[in-house]
Structures are given as C-alpha cells and as structure tokens.
C-alpha cells in the first residue's frame, strides 16, 4: 500500500523509495526521506504522546501565529495540538497524496469559545520521488467573515548550520522578533545564521532556495501564502526549551511559509488554499 495508518501515524511510500510520515496529532509531517536522506528535523527530545506540539517536522500553525492579546488560544493556535481525521489516499499515480481534516466540532469547548467560528480544514500531503507538497484548504462554514493566520512551521535538517544559507529574501522587509519586532530591509542575497534568528519576512516572492550546506539544495515554492519566517533558536533559547537538545540548533533551520503579518480575511462560505512544494534540486 502506498499509504497506511498505524498507531495514529500515516506512512507514505513512493515507488522511488521516498517516504514520509504524518502524525494525526497536528497532522504534523514528521519525516520526509528522499534519495535516502532525511530532510526534516525532529528533536531527539520531541514529545510524541500528544501532550505538546511536536518539536520538529512541519507543525501547522492555525488560526493565530504567536500569541494574540484578544484571542486566548495557546501560541500558534490549536491545529498543531489537535488530533486530525485521516481521510485516506487521494491519488496514487506518480504521486502519493493523503488528506487530513479538522473541523470546529473536534475542538475543546475552551478552544471553540476562544475562536468562535465554524470551519473545516483539509490538509493534503503529497509525496513524489523528489518533492513533498503540503497544502491547506480553509473553508469558512459561517456566514460572517473569518480572520486567521496560518503557517507551515517547517524544520529542515541540516548537517551544520554554519554552512547553511537561504536565498530569495533579499530586499524584503522583515520584522525582527529578536529585536522586539523592529523592521528592517534585508540586504543579503544569502541569509546565513550565526546567532539567534527569528525574522518575519513580509510579502515575499514565492520561490526560495535553502542550501543545506552539504551540497544539497532544496527549492521551496509557496503559493497562496505571503510571508516567510526564518528561525533558529541558537544557544540560550535552545537551553530554555525542554523538548529540544542543547546542541541541536546546529542541525536545524526553520524556513516557514505562511500568511502571518496580516490577517487572511475569508468571507462566509468561501474557501482559501495555501501551501508549499519543496523540491530536491
């Protein structure tokens, strides 16, 4: 079978040998192996029992990014902390695609009170020989307009952060969360990491390139999503996270496509789609 569920994890297998795993908890992609190489980072200390969002892979941020004073939801919302339904395989020709769904009636009473909207999320994860595609559809099932943020919080595995760079963000404005949200314009063609980095690049082009430093290149093509966050916790933040090894900041970088700088406005009855295609160059 190209996809099967066992113990709340769906495993995708492509005839090329590529594989991916998606936990029903958060619909979090926790592994993507292509050409025999694991491309995603999951912390050795990640908590996988459903009591906390998974530290690594692709946690799905919805309906808020960070925290919002007027919406009493936990950081990054409820999607990454909820069990999703597995809807099964969509196609199985050159690609293996599986879908997951989350509806408002699967939330806790507190979550529904904090964000009182009727909605349906459908998340499609598609595996080809050389690509991973993750696309989210949001359906507003109310008659009123709904506002949300969403982001694919992708943790990429790298050999050594010292040799990693991200291309495609030059000349875009970013909010620097390490500097209290101060905005600046990026002037580097290749963004490298040598300290704590937590930047929200706003309204950026859809094509980015991640050089993982070992000769491998990943192309990240987003669609329907405006912004890109680049994050590495570096030394002190790493030490402060219970579910992240002290030295693991060397082995990961988050490049997170999403719509987070502004609310997405979705009218009643309407559907929104956004996501990313990650390709091995």
Ligand X SMILES: O=P(O)(O)OC[C@H]1O[C@H](O)[C@H](O)[C@@H](O)[C@@H]1O
Catalytic residues: 153, 256
Q: Out of 198, 226, 266, 272, name the contact with ligand X by CB under 6 A.
A: 198
| Cβ neighbours around 88 below 10 Å, total | 12
Tokens of 49: 């029992």
Nearest distance, CB of residue 87 and ligand X, angstroms:
26
* Residue keyed to tokens 């952060």: 161
177 interacts with ligand X by CB under 6 A: yes
Contact with ligand X (CB under 6 A): which of 20, 191, 208, 229? 229
- Cα–Cα distance measured from residue 121 to residue 137, given in angstroms and rounded to the nearest whole number: 6
Number of residues that bind ligand X (CB under 6 A): 9
Report the residue number, 77 or 274, with the smaller CB distance to ligand X: 77
Between 75 and 91, name the residue whose CB sits nearer to ligand X. Answer: 75
The residue (of 122 and 208) whose beta carbon lies closer to ligand X is: 208
Rg (CA), the chain: 18
- According to DSSP, residue 19 is labeled E
Residue 201, strand partner residues: 174, 228
Interaction of residue 52 with ligand X, rule CB under 6 A: no
Backbone angles phi, psi at 104, to 5 degrees: -60, -30
Q: Give φ, ψ of 70 to 5 degrees.
A: -95, 0
Give least dist CB 243 to ligand X, A: 9
Among 231, 234, 249, 272, binds ligand X (CB under 6 A): 231
Binding to ligand X by residue 67, rule CB under 6 A? Answer: no
Per 3-state DSSP, what percentage of the chain is helix, strand, and coil (rounded to 5)? Answer: 10, 50, 40
Q: Which of 29, 253, 226, 223 is nearest to 132 (CA)?
A: 29
Q: Are 267 and 227 contacting, i.e. CB atoms less than 8 angstroms apart?
A: no
Task: Please check if 120 is assigned to a binding site.
Answer: no
Q: Which is nearer to ligand X, 16 or 75 (CB)?
A: 75
- Out of 75, 184, 223, 262, point to the residue binding ligand X (CB under 6 A): 75
75 annotated among ligand-binding-site residues: yes
76 belongs to the binding site for ligand X (CB under 6 A): yes
Residues flagged as binding site for substrate: 55, 75, 80
Residues near ligand X (CB under 6 A) are 53, 75-76, 177, 198, 229, 231, 254, 256
């Amino acid at each position: 079978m190209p996809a099967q569920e066992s113990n709340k994890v769906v495993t995708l297998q492509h005839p090329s040998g590529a594989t991916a795993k998606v936990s029903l908890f958060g619909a979090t992609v926790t592994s993507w192996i292509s050409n025999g190489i694991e491309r995603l980072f999951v912390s050795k200390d990640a908590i996988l029992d459903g009591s906390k969002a998974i530290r690594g892979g692709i946690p799905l941020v919805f309906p808020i990014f960070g925290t919002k004073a007027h919406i009493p939801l936990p950081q990054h919302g409820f999607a990454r902390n909820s069990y999703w339904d597995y809807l099964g395989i969509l196609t199985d020709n050159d690609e293996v695609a599986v879908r997951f769904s989350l509806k408002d009636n699967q939330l806790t009473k507190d979550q529904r009170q904090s964000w009182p909207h009727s909605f349906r999320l459908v998340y499609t994860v598609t595996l080809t020989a050389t690509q991973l595609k993750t696309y989210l559809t949001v359906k507003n099932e109310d008659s009123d307009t709904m506002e949300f943020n969403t982001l694919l919080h992708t943790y990429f595995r790298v050999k050594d952060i010292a040799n990693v760079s991200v291309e495609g963000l030059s000349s875009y404005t970013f909010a620097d969360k390490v500097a209290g949200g101060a905005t600046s314009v990026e002037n580097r063609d290749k963004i490298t990491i040598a300290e704590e980095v937590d930047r929200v690049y706003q309204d950026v082009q859809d094509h980015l390139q991640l050089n993982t430093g070992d000769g491998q290149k990943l192309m990240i093509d987003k669609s329907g999503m405006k912004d890109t966050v680049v994050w590495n916790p570096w030394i002190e933040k790493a030490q402060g996270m219970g579910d992240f090894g002290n030295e693991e900041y060397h082995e990961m970088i988050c490049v997170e496509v999403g719509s987070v700088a502004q609310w997405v406005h979705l009218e009643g009855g309407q559907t929104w789609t956004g996501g990313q295609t990650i390709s091995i160059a």
